[in-house]
Amino acid sequence: MPMDRGDTLLMTGDSITDCGRARPVGLAAGGGLGNGYPALVQQHLTALRPADGLRVVNTGTSGNTVRDLAARWREDVLAHAPQWLSVCIGINDVWRHFDSWLEPRAHVPLDEYRHTLDGLLAEVRPKVKGLLLLTPFYVEPNRADPLRAMMDRYGAAVAELAQRHEAILVDTQALFDAHCVHRHATAIAADRVHPDGTGHLLLARAVLKALGQGLEA
């Protein structure tokens, strides 16, 4: 289903989506969408469909896990009543197992992650025309790496939920794996988590393709 004239695409998640967006809500005016893939998506939609008034709203919040997203779901997602919703969450849910390994209360187990996200999606799915789910990712092609291996399990949960809720799956891990065939992981994400401009362009192109918005060139 294509985006119709006047549609709003709300993009939410963690720091990958946040990218310095304006508060309380990231809008296009004055660079309010931040400097990541949501801004690139808006720029593309505006350039190719200037008469259609397609709008991107960014409510990504750095450091968030799915627990944090659930706590602000009503205010940052439902209250905006978007026609389209894009969700990218899970990187911190995994990362906390490694960077806060002595703080188990900060860890989000896979079952909790799956159950919480499932509930959020069930609530919003009847209210939107289209739903995009971006898998969490770790820019590390070695699948045996412990963090990468765990990220793959959380990504598989997102793929299951995409099928259950008739959402469009954007496999960001596969996207970065393909790129890392040609360039070292740290060339696109110094910490293997936060992509540079090239990484955000890859994400934007994947989202636009999922929305059926061209980019064949």
Mind telling me the catalytic residues? Answer: 15, 191, 194
Q: How far apart are CA 137 and CA 129, in angstroms?
A: 26
**What is the number of other CB atoms lying within 10 angstroms of the CB of residue 146?**
10
Query: What does the alpha-carbon distance between residue 43 and residue 103 come to, in Å, rounded to a whole number?
Result: 41
Q: What are phi and psi of 11, to 5 degrees?
A: -115, 125
Asked if residue 13 lies in contact with residue 179, where contact means CB atoms within 8 angstroms, the answer is no
Are the beta carbons of 212 and 200 closer than 8 angstroms? no
